Copies of this chain bind each other. A is one copy, B any other.
């Protein structure tokens, strides 16, 4: 496969992949463009590579910076800003995981913790508390695992896990 075609496919696929997760298509495509670019890109570069508007490019670049997936870089003698993606895939995974954990998982764990104490003494209430408690236990465990696995040494964790579990 030609390099150009490969990059294109990657950008499309990464965009679709992102879309299925909380990340929107453009944001994932901008990320993909930066990931496969050997040089940092300017806003204009991104606009023209992906055929998107200035506002869109800017918005998604900012969001990627929020997610710690992209950094602003300065080029000597250049006034405008350039952007480059974090290329260490373990760091990418860590940042995405932590962000989603914080935004989605943690609030759910908190809510389930409250719900498992809902009032009522009849069978229905007991069944509900059991379901809530089970879900709370499950989500807490997942949360704890993700916390641990993204705290310091992701690479070690995943390598260890894939060995231990062979």
Residues of A that sit less than 8 Å from B by CB:
1-3, 5-7, 9-10, 13, 17, 20-22, 35-36, 38, 87, 89-90, 93, 100, 103-104, 107-108, 111, 114-115, 117-120, 123-125, 127-128, 131-132, 134-135, 137-138, 141-142, 144-145, 148-149, 157-162, 164-166
Contact = CB atoms under 8 A, between A and B. Distances in A.
Contacts of A131: 35-36, 87
A89 B165 contact: no
A150 B147 CA distance: 20
Nearest to A156: B165
Number of identical monomers bound together in the oligomeric complex: 2
Contacts of A137: 89
